[in-house]
Every structure is written in structure tokens, then in C-alpha cells.
Structure 1
Amino acid sequence: MVQHAQTPVTSPPTTAPDSPRSAARRAWAIAVVAGAAIVTAGAFTTVPGLLVTPLHQEFAWDRGQIALAASVNMVLFGLTAPFAAALMERAGIRRVAAGAMLLVAVGALATNWMASPWQLTLYWGVLIGLGSGCLTMTFAALITSRWFVRRRGLVTGALSASSHLGQLLFLPLIAWSVDRYDWQPPVVTLALVALAVAGLVALLLRDHPADVGVMPYGADEFVAKPAAVEGAARRTLTVLFQAMRTGTFWLLAGMFVICGASTNGIMWSNWVPAAHDHGMHATVAASVLSLIGIFSALGAALSGWLTDRFDPRRLLTVYFTIRALTLLALPLVFTASAQPSLIVFAIIYGLVDVATVPPVIALSQQTYGDDGPIVFGWANSAHQLGAGASAFLGATARDVFGGYDPVWITLAAVCLVAALLAMVVRENRAAVSVG
């Protein structure tokens, strides 16, 4: 059984909890606000791929220097997540989420005054990486675990899809704006959206159902709010060291390294340059990537529903196998225009793009209990390490081989490895004690 340190809790309010219907409305409203924050943060993660050519032309910077900012962004995006989860438990979800959106907005606005590659790395890589890293699937897992007892898989899938929904809402418009107005106006517009969402989070998001006198959705009784956890960073590292003693953690982290390398790592920073190699216009390439985002959202929501009903390990095996087959077929269907075969690739690949998140969150929670969101945060860090490495190595491989075909084939092979790893995850719970 999973063992945990006893966490002091605050007393329930003196007034009676609100009705179940009111609790349901409040829980879904919180999920919508959290989704808006994730959507906005997700939009910033896809922009660097659209800025490579404009920045190269304007500043004559090497493409590798520009890609470095994207890699730093991805790595910090992942490394921030587990600490952000613990910080949210210490300082409150609302404060951390609102502050993160402000940091993202400041980083985006600051790019308008940059003159050197290191400034791009600082503003987009560090500031936006840290801010958006607080609004990842770990944030989604914490919201879900506090506000929902029923429909957790569905809500997790929907919030997981929110990041890619940012692509759907912003990416084609940003690509068109960059093509028509250069890169500064769309970046400033995104920064202003981030400021507006920061205000929305500060006004409407709440840390725990007890704050507003309601029960979590689907709960049978009132749940008192846990007391603020002291030593957020220490607890985050303690959970990591305890989890590292279990084989399940290494299997989850290994799968997520491959997951990050074969999804956002290669796609967000290398898809548009790869399409350009085939003669495809940037706006068309962004539209195809947006189509992937649409079906990623659908796939994540569907995966959440499936995770409530089927073995998460088997789902992961199926998802990684399908992803491997689509990447293997990509060199055969990549053309100068969006042919039906490429559209089929975008649909199938999109459906399994983010679908891995709900099963991994479920396995983390099943195995590590209350520490599951933090453990998932560390697994997500591994995801982003794989993504950062893939973003840089993918561009490097393009320079060495003159094209991306070897990259697609290599990633297909490692996805098959991830499918095998999913098959050997143990079903029994790990004994994790956090003191």
C-alpha cells in the first residue's frame, strides 16, 4: 500500500456545504478557467517554430541559436512543473497560476526589444519556459484531484487537450499574421491575451472546494482543505527520491522521454521547417499542425474517457504503436500541398498525440496516491527533456542529412520501444513513503 505522511487539515466551514448541483457548477467553472490558462500557455509553445525564418532574416542569427531558445523553453517547461505543483500546495493554485501568466506576458513583450540571441533565450526560453511550465498537465492533475471525484479521467483528458487547443485557436492566425505583418504584432497580441487570462485566473480560480463551501464533484461528503504544505521544494525532491526507488517511475519517465521527443519536441519547432523543405507554404504547414492540434484535443478527451474504463497500460501500448506507424508513413505522404494522405496522417497522429497523458496521470495516482501529481510532474520533466533534445537534434540532423526522413524513422523506432515499456509496467502499487 502507498504510505504518506499525515497532512494537517483545516476545519470545515461553519456553514453547511452548498448543494451537489451548485458544487458541480463550481467544479466545472474551475475546470474552464484552468483550461483557459492552459490554452493560452500552450499557444506560446508553438510560436518558436514560426519565428525561425523571420528572426533569421531580420537578425541574421543562426538557426541553431534560435532553436536553442526553444530547447531551453521546453526543458524549463518540464523542470518547473513538479516544483510548481508543490508551490501551488504551499502558496495556492490561484496565486501561482496568475503569476505564471504574468511571467509569460512579460517574456513575450520583452522580445520586442531584443538585439542578441542570448536575449531570445532569456525571454522566450527562460521567462516563458518558467511561466508556461507552471501551467502544464501537472497543474491539470492538481485541479482534477482537488475538484473532482467523478469524471476525473474525462476532465484530465479535456484539460490535457487544452494545451493543443491553443494551437487550434492561435497557430494559423499567428502564421498568417507573421506572414503579413512580421513577427512583432502577433507576439504582442499573445502577450495581451496572457495578461487578460491572468486577470481571469486571479478573479475566478479557487484553490480548493472548501474555499467556497462546496464538495468536490461526485463526493459524498465535505472535504476539508489541507493546511499549507511547508517546504515545497524539499517535498518535491523528497517525492522524487522516493519515487526513483520504484521501477514504475523509471518506466513512466522513459515512456515520457520518448513521448516528448516524438510529439512537441519535433513538431513544434521542426514541422514548419520540414514542410518548407517540401515546398509547402508556412501558412499551409501551420494549418496542418493546427489540424493535428484539433484531433489532439479530441484524442486527449477520448483517452480520458477510455482511461476511466480500461487498463491504462494497454492504452499506452496501443497509442505508441499507432504513433510509430504514422511517423514511419510520414516520409511517404509529405508533399508540397496538403494532400488527402497528409490530412489522414494529421488526423491519426493527432488522435494519439496527447492521448498518452490521461493514462500516465492515472498510473501515477494509482501508484503514488496523493503524491501522484508531483510524481507526474517529474515524469513530465522527462517528457520535456526528450522534447528539448529532439528539437535541437532534429534540426541538427536536418543539417547533417539534408532532410528529416531519418528523424521520422528513428522516432518511429523509439515509439515501438515505448509501447514495449508500457506492457511491463506493474499493476500492483509501489510502497512510497514521504516523510
Structure 2
Amino acid sequence: MRSPFSLSAEETSPRYYGWLAVGVTFLTMATGGAVVGTFSVFYVSFLEEFGWSRADAALGFSFSMVTFALSAGAIGWLIDRWGPRAVIPSGVAVLGAGLALMSTVRSLGTLYLYYGFVVALGITLIGFVPTSTVVSRWFRRRRATAMGIALSGRSLGGLVMVPLSAFLIRAYGWRSAYLILAAGITLFLLPLTAALHRAPPLPPEERPGARGEPPAPAEGLGGPAFWFVFLAGIFHSVGFSMIGLHQVAYLVDVGLSTLAAASLIGMLAALRTLGGLAGGWCGDRMGRTAAYFASCAASLAGVFFLMGVSAERWPLAYLFVIFMGLGEGARGITFLSIKADLFPARSFGRILGFSQVGAGLAAAVGPWLSGYIHDALGSYRYAFWVVVFVDVLSLATVAAAARGGRAPLTRGERREGA
């Protein structure tokens, strides 16, 4: 049967094969990529069964961020060299194996190895760096829109995956829940990604290594803009991860049920989808940096609402979900758009991967730091004030990166520079 999609169609045509690639990456992020969000639900089960401290249990997630950070550059290179059809199905297989191994966890060491390395490597092979690189190469004029759709899959997937995980744990136990997720994700994604991914038909000037010697990573690392983006990624990631892993535990601590808390986080994931799409649209009209500032303000408001949640003031949990969901969704897309404006397209996979090293290492520290603060001081409130501080620092460094790299700040500036 002849495919209705064409490699030679215009980007604006619904028959353009790039839109099928966006659909495949969206589904990949919505199922496999959304596994990241389920750890906060399984985390509560680990605490209940094993009696581990919150800091020790959170280290499993922290080690996964280390794996992400250390492998992102290499995975970007693999995507540049071998393409999505080889790399992404391999990641699905690794992820499925890691989730199956998680059903056998009986000690902190096995948690750290199976989740912190195997599951994390699988997610990284199918996640942010490969998705962003692949979609950016299929599109030029519609790149921001396509990226927003593809990356929003992870947030929308969280709407299903987080409550689904809570349901499976309650119905069958957390070990069986991991086996069900492993089988479902592998059986769905492996044939999908192997069959439908294609190498994007890049023009010569955008192929890696075109026009002379292959560009070294230093091409993207040499200027001050890269280092400002690097620092901004650190501040953003440490703040986001300090809340992300512990938000279910915090809501349970203040009086919500585990299922209610998981459902709220699922709603937050759905709103991150809307925020990502809105952030791309706003960034094209009001400027990348201005959109990033607005999204940060919304996220900060969400942190303050979260700090106010209690059994009596439970409606504040909904305000937290609304502001944090929309703010973080827009923030992620606008930050990625700033990177795309600053760095060469022909080696974007490698440059994006190396730029994520600091963010990944910071995200490894965040969950442990929140758990340590809670264990030492008996409250998450002090950890949330740290989040406020680092978010303000991310605003300053993104502004410096955009100006130092001469990234267009407004729609008018982009038109003048076109």
C-alpha cells in the first residue's frame, strides 16, 4: 500500500513526511518519555515497603540524571551519525529491559543500577536530544511549531502514565506495575519507531560536516552565549527537579491521598502540553526572551501556591497545577528555541547534547537536595525557597545568553535581521 506521505512535499502540506515524524516522536515521548514522571509515584511505594530515607531513595532519580548528562553528548553524536531509525528503536529496547529489571529491586544498589543507569539510558536514547535533533532537521520554516508538538508528547503522556501507574500499583503492586509498563511500551514503540523513522532530506548546507571539515563541538562551545545557556540550564534543572520528584510526597504529607496527588500531577502534565504549544506561539510573536521571562513568572507563582497547600487550603493545589503546568511547558520550549537561534544547525545534535551536561548533573542534585532538606529540617518549604532563588538566576543568565549571542529578542528584530 502506497504511503500518503511524501519526502518531497512542502512543509506546509499535511502530506509532508516530516509531520509523520512529528507524530512518531510525539507518541514516543508520550509513552516512553513520560516514564520519567512515574518515578514520583513508585517513589512513595519504595518508601512504604523498604523504609528508606527520602534522600537515599531520591538518589535513584539523581543517578538517572547523571546518566542523562554524561550520555547526552554521545547520543547526539549517534543521531548525527546513524540517524533515528537505528538509535531510537535501540533505546526502546533498553528502556523495556530496564523497566522489567525494576520489578526485581530489593536494595538501594539495584535501584540505583536499574533505574539510575539502564532505564535512564533508554529514556535518553529516545528522549529530548534525539527528538529535538530529528524534528529540527525535518523543519525549517515550521520548526518551532513542530518541536512544540513533538516535545509536548511527554507532558500529555504524563496525564495518562502517572495516574495509570498509581492505578496499577494499587491494583497489582508496584513490581507487577513495572512489568506491565515494560511490556506495553516495548510492544507499542519498537515496531512503530523501527518502521516509520526516516533520515530527513537535508539540503547540503545543513548536513553535519558540510562545507569543509566536520565541525568540532567547540564550534558551539567557544562563545559566551553557550556558557550562559549552560548555566541557565543548571539553574532551571536544579529548581525543576527539586519539585518534580517530591511533589506527590509533599501533597500526601499535607493531607491529600496518593491517588488524588497523582491525578493532580497528571493534570499538570496535560497543562505542560498546552504551555509548550502556547510558548512556541508566543515566542514567535513577543520574542524568545520575553516569552521565557513570562513563563518563569508563571512557574514562580506556582511554587508559591504549592507552598501554601494544606488540608484546609487544598484548592491552592489546583492553582499550583495551572501556573506550574503552563509556565514550565512554555519555559521548556522557549529555552530550546533560544538554543536553536544561537547554535549551528548542521551539528545541532552534538551541541545540544553537550549543552545538556550541566542541566543533567544539576537535575541529579535537585531531588537528593530536596530529600536531604526535608530529612534534616522536617519540611519541604526551605527546599522550595531554594527553587525560587535558582529560578531568578536562570532569568538573568538566559537574558545574558540571548544578548551575548545576538539572538533575536523581539519579532521586529528577527525581521530586521532576516
Q: Is the TM-score greater than 0.5?
A: yes
* Corresponding position: 1:152 with 2:139: no
| Partner SS, residue 207 of structure 1 | coil
1:200 to 192, 195, 206: 192
Question: Residues 401-429 of structure 1: CA distance to partner in whole angstroms, max 9, x if unpaired?
Answer: 11111111221122122222222234464
Letter in 2 for 1:204: L
- In the TM superposition, what whole-angstrom CA distance separates every residue of 1:92-119 from its partner, at most 9, and x where no partner exists? 2111000001100000101223333211
Q: Which moved more, 1:163-172 or 1:51-60?
A: 51-60
- Whole-Å Cα distance in 1 between the matches of residues 279 and 29 of structure 2? 18
**Which residue, out of 241, 251, 255, partners 1:275?**
251
Taking the TM superposition and a 5 Å limit, the aligned residue runs for 1:35-54 are 35-54=26-45
Letter in 2 for 1:198: L
Residues 22/243 of structure 1: CA separation in 2 closer, same or farther (3 Å cut): closer
* Partner residue of 2:300 out of 324, 341, 345: 324
Aligned in 2, Cα 1:339/1:276: closer, same or farther, shift over 3 Å?
closer
The yes-or-no answer on 1:127 pairing with 2:118 is yes
CA contact (8 A) 1:76 1:126 kept: yes
Is the Cα contact below 8 Å between 2:255 and 2:310 reproduced in 1?
A: yes
Instruction: Report the counterpart of residue 410 of structure 1 in structure 2.
Output: 386
Tell me: CA distance 1:295–1:137, structure 2 relative to 1, closer, same or farther (3 Å). Answer: same
| Secondary structure at the counterpart of residue 285 of structure 2 | coil
Shift of 1:387: 1.7
Deviates more, 1:56-65 or 1:121-130: 56-65
Q: 1:400 to 1:243 in 2, by over 3 A?
A: same
State the secondary structure of the residue aligned to 1:134: helix
Equivalent in the alignment of 1:293 = 269
Q: How many residues align?
A: 396
One-letter amino acid of the counterpart of residue 316, structure 1: Y
Judging changes above 3 Å, is the alpha-carbon distance between structure 1 residues 64 and 413 closer, same or farther for their aligned structure 2 residues? Answer: closer
1:248 aligns with 2:225: yes
- Distance in 2, matches of 1:141 and 1:32, equals 13
Q: Runs of 5+ in structure 2 lacking a partner?
A: 1-5, 407-418
Give the letter aligned to residue 226 of structure 2: F
SS of 2:305's equivalent?
A: helix
Measure, in 2, the Cα distance between the counterparts of 1:176 and 1:23. 37
Decide whether aligned partners of structure 1 residues 372 and 91 sit closer, same or farther in structure 2, where only a CA change above 3 A counts.
Answer: closer
354 and 78 in structure 1: CA distance in 2 versus 1, 3 angstrom threshold: farther
Q: Secondary structure at the match of 2:141?
A: coil
Instruction: Compute the displacement of 1:141 (Å).
Output: 2.0
SS, match of residue 424 in structure 1: helix
1:381 paired residue number? 357
Instruction: Tell me the residue number matched to 2:331.
Output: 356
Q: What residue is the counterpart of 1:213 in the other structure?
A: none
Q: 1:420 and 1:98 mapped to 2: Cα distance?
A: 39
Q: Read off the aligned partner of 1:306 and give its amino acid letter.
A: C
Distance in structure 1 (CA, Å) of the matches to 2:59 and 2:136: 35
Note the C-alpha offset of 1:378.
2.7
2:255 partner SS? coil
CA contact (8 A) 2:237 2:359 kept: yes
The 1-side partners of 2:89 and 2:157 are apart by 18
The CA deviation at 1:191 is 0.8
Could you say if the C-alpha distance between residues 78 and 157 of structure 1 is closer, same or farther in structure 2, counting changes exceeding 3 Å?
A: farther
Range with greater deviation from structure 2 (111-120 or 196-205): 111-120
> Which residue of the partner structure matches residue 173 of structure 2?
182
How much has 1:24 moved relative to structure 2?
3.8
Aligned-residue sequence identity (percent) comes to 21
2:192 partner letter: L
After superposition, what is the alpha-carbon deviation per residue over 1:42-80, rounded to whole angstroms, capped at 9, x for unaligned? 222122221223223434444433221111112212332
User: What's the secondary structure of 1:188's corresponding residue?
Assistant: helix
Given that 1:93 and 1:206 are in contact with CA atoms closer than 8 Å, whether structure 2 keeps it comes out as yes
Q: Tell me how far apart the structure 2 counterparts of residues 225 and 417 of structure 1 sit (CA, whole Å).
A: 36
Aligned pairs (5 A) from 1:10-409: 18-20=8-10, 24-195=15-186, 196-209=188-201, 223=203, 238-239=216-217, 241-263=218-240, 265-332=241-308, 334-336=309-311, 339-370=314-345, 371-409=347-385
Whole-angstrom CA distance in 2 between matches of 1:406 and 1:176: 31
Which letter does structure 2 place at the counterpart of 1:341? L
1:300·1:357 contact (CA, 8 Å) conserved in 2?
A: yes
Structure 2 CA distance for aligned equivalents of residues 409 and 63 of structure 1: 19
CA–CA distance in structure 1, aligned partners of residues 140 and 65 of structure 2: 31
TM-score (norm 2): 0.87
> Quick check: 2:7–2:17 contact (8 Å CA) kept in 1?
no
Per the alignment, do residues 53 and 330 of structure 1 end up closer, same or farther by CA in structure 2, a change over 3 Å counting?
closer
Query: Aligned AA for 1:177?
Result: L
Rounded Cα–Cα distance in structure 1 between residues aligned with 2:104 and 2:82: 33
| In 1: Cα distance, 2:317 partner to 2:207 partner | 52
**For residues 324 and 30 of structure 1, what CA distance do their matches in structure 2 show?**
34
**Amino acid of the structure 1 residue aligned with 2:320:** F
TM-score, normalization by structure 1 = 0.84
8 Å CA contact 2:271–2:329 kept in 1: the answer is no
Cα offsets for 1:270-320 (capped at 9, x unmatched): 112111211211111111111111110100111112222332122222222
1:193: Cα distance to partner? 2.4
Would the aligned equivalents of 2:292 and 2:334 in 1 still touch at CA under 8 Å? Answer: yes
Answer yes or no: is the 8 Å Cα contact 1:40–1:193 preserved in 2.
no
Deviation readout 1:151-188 (Å, 9 max, x if unpaired): 21111112221222221121012112212321022211
Greater displacement, 195-204 / 363-372 = 363-372
Is the partner of 2:344 in helix, strand or coil? helix
Unmatched 5+ residue regions in structure 1? 1-15, 211-222, 431-435
